[in-house]
């Protein structure tokens, strides 16, 4: 029986444990990445660990989220991150260089390596044949400090690709189809591994689009083989020496298999307000649109934007549409300027904005009230765009560009435009936006600490009896955007948890912060897939600051569950899902013998009347240590 590619790479990086699905393992981490939205907390934590130099082969600190500098806060955060990066040996990517995932793919990703990033879309580099995992900031800080990461060995879901994409159908339609089939919970606890004859029909940037949105499946990561297309991509990025051929072994066995015939796919769209609410563009019909946004870490590659330029060439954006384009990197933007593609976009009526995340996270370019926006992004959660009542559809760059011309949603196959293949071009290595840590250290580089930067909150050790009051009840698929909003109002305060906490759950229940403060210790009760979406640990840190000590849910998203544990908040799953209905606001719960119960698979909670509720913990030995200590940082301090 052959090995999957996933398990080959994990085996080569295994430090502790056995590679059996469901078992806890520790793997070596070769590379890390951070971005400025989560990065300030990462580097506060790295400083708190008092390490000298990082243990990874390469770590990069990117500035790509908080670039709208309307006050001092974002610039202060950038200066702080740069100073700590220099102190510890981390490469610093300046504002304007581009989006972390696109840049990592272009400049640093290597087949067969491991990457841990403080952003849920870190799996983008799985398109290069890497095991690239998104995680909470503290896990990334620990990986930099120790060179390792603990996780549960995943199942491997095989996605068998056959056929080839037809004109006007793209990689975005592939991952939207997978989401339609499996849902936003379909990849939880698994790695999505793509294989089969259809793989050779997809470029590395096509593959990166697919692995990027594997995060929306809840998957640990997604991975493609490394083949001739990989070599061609790395050669065009002026680093062919980084190529290593990789593939699943003959006869590799997957835990389950999804068959995808690329030639049978058609243009698709994810409808409001979930990435798995997928329908065909023709089925949706000519929906009137107000805005089109092209870019993000999902679809801002050179190939994507050259397709857009070809569609727009000699034509004009409809008068009712605002078209916004954000290239993925400074190298791509420069190439578009050199070859005339940028002029074609501008002449058609497109607005070109800075190379960064921007509209994807509500940092500018929010739609009009009640507006309809087509976006080539990866998430369309309600309010994420910065406009609460906007209707956001996720589509391919081709569908987005054709619709911008038409003024309504349109299937590109119906617009009378013939698309020609986009040829790969050579990119030179460029370092003008990179700051090397060489020559810097803790002695000669002080920390640049602005007044908005506050210490991250720490929990206390788990008591013998944990008592808390139900302070919030929420439905299924609550995202980290809903827990801790991320937009132009609040992103400048990502380094200030006390301030941010005032806005925790504001779209669901504005009284939540006040209720928490009145309760002292709180419990959140949720249905399925609690904490889906971003890796932001602020969605755990803000509730922690407000006194939340437990979350009871029918199920959790992977990264958020880990972030809760890292903060010392106890995540528990209802043994009987019907118990969700039996815990109203204000109910007081008690976990007796908490320190002993944490080691058990099934725990018992009691309410004021003495009624018992069975809940599932299933905490690994390491997770138990973190919860007992009141969080990962506290546990690390115990070793000193």
Taking the C-alpha atoms of residue 271 and residue 278, their distance in angstroms, rounded to an integer, is: 6
DSSP-derived 3-state class of residue 525: strand
Of 376, 355, 382, 358, nearest to 487 by C-alpha is: 358
Please list, in sequence order, all residues whose beta carbon lies within 8 angstroms of the beta carbon of residue 369, skipping any fewer than 6 positions away: 387, 389, 390
Helix (H, G, I), strand (E, B) or coil at 374: strand
Cα(121)–Cα(76) distance, rounded to whole angstroms? 25
Which among 409, 412, 407, 4 is positioned nearest to 168, based on CA atoms? 412
Q: Among residues 223, 35, 28, 66, which one has the least CA distance to residue 129?
A: 223
How is residue 80 annotated by DSSP?
A: H
* Contact residues for 529 (Cβ-Cβ < 8 A; gap 6+): 184, 185, 188, 218, 476, 477, 478, 555, 556, 557
**pLDDT one-digit tens code per residue, 483-522:** 998 777 888 888 899 999 999 999 999 999 999 999 999 9
Q: Angle, to 10 degrees, between the axis of helix 558-566 and the axis of helix 621-629?
A: 50
Domains identified in the chain and CATH numbers: 7-264 (3.30.499.10), 268-414 (3.30.499.10), 466-638 (3.20.19.10)
CA distance 617 to 600: 7
pLDDT at 6: 98
Query: Which DSSP letter does residue 53 get?
Result: S
Which pLDDT score, from 0 to 100, does residue 636 have? 82
Using DSSP, state whether 5 is helix, strand or coil. helix
Strands 131-134 and 114-117, sheet pairing: parallel
Cβ–Cβ under 8 Å, residues 197 and 110: no
Residues, the chain, total? 640
CB 143 within 8 A of CB 29: yes
Q: Please, what's the b/e burial string for 109-120 (b: 16 or more CB within 10 A of its CB; e: otherwise)?
A: bbbbbbbbbbbb
Which tokens go with 346?
């501008």
Phi and psi at residue 570, to the nearest 5° = -85, 115
Give CA–CA dist 392/370, Å, rounded.
Answer: 10
What is the predicted pLDDT for the residue at 551? 98
DSSP alpha helix (H) spans, 257-410: 281-284, 302-312, 330-339, 341-348, 397-406
Residues in the chain, pLDDT under 70: 640
CA dist 521 to 126, 265, 549, Å? 41, 50, 6
d(CA 494, CA 306): 35
Peptide bond between residue 273 and the one before it cis (omega within 30 degrees of 0) = yes
Q: Rounded distance, CA 170 to CA 264, Å?
A: 12
Structure confidence at residue 603 (pLDDT): 97
pTM for the predicted model, two decimal places:
0.93
Distance between CA 580 and CA 572 in Å, rounded? Answer: 12
Angle, CA of 356, 359 and 362, to the nearest 5°? 120
Q: What is the pLDDT of residue 455?
A: 87
Instruction: Give the pLDDT score at 640.
Output: 63
What are the tens digits of pLDDT across the range 388-446? 999 999 999 999 999 999 999 999 999 999 998 898 899 999 999 999 999 999 999 99
The two tokens of residue 326 are: 């954000």
CA distances from 628 to 145, 276, 525, 591 (A): 22, 37, 22, 13
Those residues whose C-beta lies under 8 Å from the C-beta of residue 215, and which sit 6 or more positions away, are 120, 121, 123, 134, 378
pLDDT at res. 38:
87
Check: CB of residue 492 under 8 Å from CB of residue 74.
Answer: yes
pLDDT at 385: 87
- Going by C-beta distance under 8 Å and a sequence separation of 6 or more, which residues neighbour residue 431? none
- Measured CA to CA, the distance from residue 373 to residue 205 in angstroms comes to 24
Q: Please answer whether residues 44 and 87 qualify as being in contact, where contact means their C-beta atoms are separated by less than 8 angstroms.
A: no
Neighbouring CB atoms inside 10 A of 8's CB total: 18
């Amino acid at each position: 029986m052959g090995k999957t590619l996933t398990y080959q790479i994990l085996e080569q990086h295994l430090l502790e444990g056995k590679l059996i699905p469901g078992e806890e393992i520790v793997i070596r981490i070769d590379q890390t990445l951070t971005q400025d939205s989560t990065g300030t907390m990462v580097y506060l934590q790295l400083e708190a660990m008092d390490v000298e130099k990082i243990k990874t082969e390469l770590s990069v600190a990117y500035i790509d989220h908080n670039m709208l500098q309307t006050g001092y806060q974002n610039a202060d955060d950038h200066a702080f991150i740069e100073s700590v990066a220099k102190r510890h040996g981390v490469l610093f990517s300046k504002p304007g260089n581009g989006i972390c995932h696109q840049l990592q793919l272009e400049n640093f990703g290597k087949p067969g390596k491991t990457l841990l990033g403080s952003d849920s879309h870190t799996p983008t580099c799985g398109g290069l044949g890497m095991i690239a995992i998104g995680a909470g900031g503290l896990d990334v800080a620990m990986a930099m400090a120790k060179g390792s990461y603990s996780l549960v060995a995943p199942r491997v879901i095989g996605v068998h690709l056959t056929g080839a994409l037809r004109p006007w159908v793209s990689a975005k339609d592939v991952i939207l189809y997978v989401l339609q089939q499996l849902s936003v919970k379909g990849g939880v606890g698994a790695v999505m591994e793509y294989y089969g004859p259809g793989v050779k029909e997809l470029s590395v940037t096509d593959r990166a689009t697919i692995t990027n949105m594997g995060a929306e499946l809840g998957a640990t990561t997604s991975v493609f083989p490394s083949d001739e297309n990989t070599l061609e991509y790395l050669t065009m990025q002026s680093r062919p020496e980084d190529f290593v051929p990789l593939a699943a072994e003959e006869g590799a066995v997957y835990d389950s298999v999804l068959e995808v015939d690329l030639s049978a796919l058609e243009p698709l769209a994810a409808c409001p307000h979930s990435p798995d609410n997928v329908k065909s563009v023709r089925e949706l019909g000519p929906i009137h649109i107000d805005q089109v946004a092209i870019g993000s870490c999902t679809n801002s590659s050179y190939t994507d934007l050259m397709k857009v330029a070809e569609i727009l060439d000699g034509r004009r954006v409809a008068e009712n549409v605002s078209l916004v384009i954000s290239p993925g990197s400074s190298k791509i933007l420069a190439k578009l300027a050199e070859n005339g593609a940028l002029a074609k976009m501008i002449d058609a009526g497109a607005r070109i904005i800075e190379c960064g995340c921007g509209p994807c996270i509500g940092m500018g370019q929010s739609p009009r009230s009640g507006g309809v926006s087509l976006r080539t992004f990866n998430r369309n959660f309600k309010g994420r765009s910065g406009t609460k009542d906007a209707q956001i559809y996720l589509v391919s760059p081709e569908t987005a560009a054709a619709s911008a011309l038409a003024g309504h949603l349109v299937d590109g196959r119906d617009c009378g435009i013939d698309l020609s293949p986009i040829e790969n071009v050579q990119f030179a290595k460029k370092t003008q936006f990179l700051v090397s840590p060489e020559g810097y250290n803790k002695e000669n580089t002080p920390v640049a600490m602005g007044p908005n930067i506050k210490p991250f909150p720490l929990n206390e050790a788990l008591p013998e009896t944990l008592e808390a009051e139900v302070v919030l009840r929420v439905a299924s698929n609550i995202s980290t955007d809903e827990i801790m909003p991320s937009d132009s109002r609040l992103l400048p305060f990502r380094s200030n948890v006390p301030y941010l906490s005032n806005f925790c759950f504001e779209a669901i229940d504005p009284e939540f912060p006040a209720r928490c403060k009145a309760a002292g210790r709180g419990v959140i009760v949720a249905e399925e897939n609690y904490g889906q979406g971003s890796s932001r640990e602020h969605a755990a840190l803000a509730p922690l600051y407000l006194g939340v000590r437990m979350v009871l849910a029918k199920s959790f998203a992977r990264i958020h569950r880990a972030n809760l544990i890292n903060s010392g908040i106890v995540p528990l799953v209802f043994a009987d899902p019907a118990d969700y209905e039996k815990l109203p606001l204000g109910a007081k719960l008690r976990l007796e013998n908490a320190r002993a119960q944490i080691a058990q698979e099934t725990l018992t909670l009691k309410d004021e009347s003495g009624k018992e509720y069975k809940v599932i913990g299933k905490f690994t030995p390491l997770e138990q240590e973190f919860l007992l200590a009141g969080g990962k940082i506290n546990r690390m301090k115990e070793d000193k």
